[in-house]
Chains A and B, each alone.
Chain A
Amino acid sequence: MRQNSIVPVIAYLVLGAGFVGIMESGAADVFLEATRPDFQKIPVGVLEFKSVMAPANAAERVAEVLKADLRRSQIFTVADLVKLGIKVDEKLELLDGAQLPLFKQAADNGVAALVWGKMATRDANLVLDGYVYDGGTAELLIGKRYVGAPSTLRVMAHRLADELVSRYTGEPGIARTKIAYASDQRGGREVFVMDYDGYAPRQVTADGFLNLTPEWSRDRRSLVFTAYRNRRNQTIDLIELATGKRRTLVALAGLNITPSLSPDGRYLAFATSQDGNSEIYTLDTRTNELQRLTFQAAGDLSPFWSPSGRELVFTSDRGGGPQIYLMNADGSNVRRLTFEGDYNAAPAWSPRGDWIAFVCRSQEGQFKLCLITPDGQKRLQITTGPGIDDSPSWSPDGRHLVFSSMVNGQSHIFMINRDGTEQERLTSGGTHHSSPSWSPA
């Protein structure tokens, strides 16, 4: 009897472990396809879009946004069709077999896919028909019609771009993701949300004082952030973006900072100083139960969940200066991850699980971005220059990061590829934009 009862338990454990293993390696495999060092980007050509009584430049603008999205995706390269002499007859209504020479020309030049579109007006709306053809066979792979107000032109291009990414990688694209951040506005620092390419900033709070470090919920409906509503007490609040509805999650005595929601959305990890110095806690948002995870005389802060939700990475100065540590989600198994340099802080775990980004102090004494693998085996610095870099946050596809960088007191938000290439400034105007957080896809 005794043995019988043990067998199912063991079987369950083995099956459970196996299941988890499959889930994880499955996700990792998809990732490897497009992130291996030898991954060849897919050359795609964007033909001149046809304008059918559309507002001036609308067809050109939508094609330009699309090209920028495709380039940024890190999946595609955008071929210069003009240089290749590939041009579509502007009288055409639809590309088809009759244009085979065009496709042959594209294929001969290594262009794997051709994108063509028509922009028209219907009532007060724009109508975009987007087509994607296989460069070699001329097979029509994607045909989509988008209808929306003229102000949605960029969204239409983003949708078509995501359609291409999804078609070629099986992953959701990032062109319609958003970035939450804090920005100085009329004497206060407020929470804002903008498109992933820096367009369409939208103000979320109007508290008039100090709001910091917004972080997304997994369902992308809400942000959690630190709010100084009365200048003395900091609370951690949650705001629902679509309605503006807001509630306070944490109002303990002392500093309540650096919130991070678990991948399943249930637990909020944060730092509070209610015990005298900054310690990391989790809040079960269903039961309102608090669990203290760290017990140190030093400062523990900036917890960030692993993609599995089983571990947390955080900053602690228990060894003197700030360093990055790992622990299990229940506070056990604490180990130090960074040993190089005397200042490592603000960790963010890639949604792929393979890297942790953080702020490091370079040999020149500058605060820059570094990456380290969770096993500590590989470490690299990905930004250089004089800016004070802060608050790295990963794109949901794990290929990019956003961060803030301050030069001469002006803080702006930048996007950069994971390998440190193609740094792009996203914010314009204003003088202080900080703590960016990239939404899930």
Chain B
Amino acid sequence: MDTHSRMAGLAAAVGLLLVLALGCSSKAIQTASDSSTEPGVSKEPRVSEQDLLGKSPSAPGQGRQSKDIAVAKVEPSDAARRHAEDIRRERVATAIAGIEDVFFGFDSWNISDEGKHALEVDAQWLKSNPEKMVTIEGHCDERGTQAYNLVLGEKRAKAVRNYLTELGVGTGGLTVTSYGKERPFCEGHDETCYQQNRRGHMTLRVR
């Protein structure tokens, strides 16, 4: 590369940076001009206040008011659609591989005999497909608090991982996570559904 083309490249890069910078700043200005408030703050319209009694802000009982909380408007994104698409593809891939889930008792992370049997099938497949990445999701039924169920879900996912490891599956391809009670499989509110929702859910990663 000669000096000229290097300079040209540099100029192009600087130009690109300028365009990016200007793009950013014009966006910032746009946000500010939409609001009648301080620059850079949200589009929430502000209320101005005047004391009709001519009291100074330091008068007793005055000046204790804090500012209104400004909240910027969020830009919509297509992230949800992408997540949904990933989940659908993972479900298909997992079903094709014949990988099974494990179910648990109330407030328990012990793997039942039935669960062990399912995991033996899973372990066979995982050992013959060592390059595949699997996420083990811990799930809970709707009873109890969100936070405690996240921890419980993780205990379930880790119990599944530990049993797979005992069966000789390498830990490299296994990731554990917990969704607690936040993403139930069954939407009902009785034990039939609850037992469906207390699970270690296996998903084959597609990306």
CB distance from A378 to the nearest CB of B (A): 22
B96 in contact (CB, < 8 A): no
Secondary structure at the B interface, as helix, strand, loop or mixed, is loop
* A299–B69 touching, CB < 8 Å: no
Given A143-B53, A145-B49, 18 more contacts at CB 8 Å?
A146-B49, A177-B69, A202-B73, A203-B73, A203-B74, A212-B182, A213-B147, A231-B86, A242-B41, A243-B72, A244-B74, A257-B150, A271-B147, A346-B146, A359-B145, A388-B142, A408-B189, A441-B66
Answer yes or no: B122 CB below 8 A from chain A CBs. no
> Interface of A with B (CB < 8 Å)?
129, 131, 140, 142-149, 151-152, 155-156, 159, 162-163, 166-168, 170-172, 176-178, 186-190, 193, 202-210, 212-213, 220, 228, 231-234, 241-244, 254-255, 257-258, 271, 273, 276-278, 299, 301-302, 315, 317, 321-322, 343, 345-346, 359, 367, 388, 390-391, 406, 408-409, 434-435, 439, 441
In the A-B complex, the 3 residue pairs with the smallest Cβ-Cβ separation, listed nearest first, are: A208-B79, A208-B80, A143-B52
Number of A-B contacts (CB under 8 A): 202
Enumerate 28 A-B pairs (CB-CB under 8 Å) in ascending A order: A147-B50, A148-B46, A149-B36, A159-B47, A166-B64, A167-B61, A168-B61, A187-B81, A187-B84, A188-B79, A193-B69, A193-B71, A206-B74, A208-B77, A208-B80, A209-B79, A231-B135, A233-B177, A234-B177, A241-B70, A242-B41, A243-B72, A277-B155, A299-B151, A299-B152, A302-B147, A345-B145, A391-B145
B45 at interface, CB cutoff 8 A: yes
Chain A residues closer than 8 Å to B148, beta-carbon distance: 299, 301-302, 315, 317, 322, 345-346
Instruction: Check if A243 sits within 8 Å of B40, measured CB to CB.
Output: yes
Q: For this complex, into which size category does the number of interface residues on chain B fall?
A: 35 or more
Taking CB atoms, residues of chain B closer than 8 Å to A208 are 77-83
A242 touches B135 (CB 8 A): no
Pick from A234, A242, A359: contact of B72, CB under 8 Å: A242
A149 to B49 alpha-carbon distance, docked (Å): 13
Q: Are the C-beta atoms of A391 and B146 separated by less than 8 Å?
A: yes
Known: A213-B147, A406-B142. A155 touches B52 (CB 8 A): no
**CB distance B144 to A345 under 8 Å?**
yes
Beta-carbon contacts of B28-47 to A below 8 Å, as 1s and 0s? 00000000100011100111
CA distance A172 to B61 in the complex (A): 9
Report which of A172, A243, A258, A408 forms a contact with B65, defined as CB distance below 8 A: A172
Tell me whether A209 and B80 are in contact (CB under 8 A): yes
Taking a contact as CB atoms under 8 Å apart, the answer to whether A202 and B84 are in contact is no
Q: Which of B42, B61, B151, B187 is A242 in contact with, Cβ under 8 Å?
A: B42
Residues in chain A near residue B113, CB distance under 8 A: none
Contact assessment for B51 and A146 in the assembled complex, using a CB-CB cutoff below 8 Å: no
Q: Is the beta-carbon distance between B66 and A258 smaller than 8 angstroms?
A: no
| Cβ–Cβ < 8 Å partners of A189 in chain B | 182
**B143 interface residue per 8 A CB criterion:** yes
Q: What's the Cα separation between A206 and B83 when bound, in Å?
A: 12
Do A202 and B68 form a contact, CB below 8 Å, given A144-B50, A146-B47, A242-B41?
no
A168 to B49, CA, bound (A): 20
Task: Kindly provide the distance from the CB of A134 to the nearest chain B CB, expressed in whole angstroms.
Answer: 13
